[in-house]
């Protein structure tokens, strides 16, 4: 089986910044009556779940070699 390295979006700097700052940003913007459009919040929350095993995955199994691979669900957004 070919080598495969799972993309780990939860380990990227962008994911870390959004994860750590989103709630504070939203609270602050709502407090100032300058909340972003709802779709912006939805996109950011979706981004935090996209490709993360903890939010759902498939287990693929190779009958030939017995190897299992976990594939995280994608948010299908580009």
- The whole-number average pLDDT for the span 40-53 is 94
Distance CA 29, CA 5 (A): 38
Distance CA 70, CA 20 (A): 26
Q: Is the pTM of this model over 0.85?
A: no
**Digit-coded pLDDT (tens) for 55-76:** 999 999 999 999 999 999 888 7
For the chain, the structural domain boundaries read: 13-19+35-78
The residue whose two tokens read 């979706």 is: 46
Distance CA 77, CA 54 (A): 18
The residue whose two tokens read 């913007």 is: 29
| Residue 12 confidence class, pLDDT cut points 50, 70, 90 | very high
């Amino acid at each position: 089986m070919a080598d495969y390295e799972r993309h780990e979006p939860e380990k990227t700097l962008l994911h870390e910044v959004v994860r750590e700052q989103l709630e504070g940003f939203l609270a602050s913007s709502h407090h100032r009556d300058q909340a972003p459009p709802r779709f912006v919040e939805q996109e950011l929350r979706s981004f935090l779940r996209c490709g993360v095993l903890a939010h759902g995955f498939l287990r693929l199994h190779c009958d030939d070699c017995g190897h299992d691979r976990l594939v995280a669900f994608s948010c299908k957004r580009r």
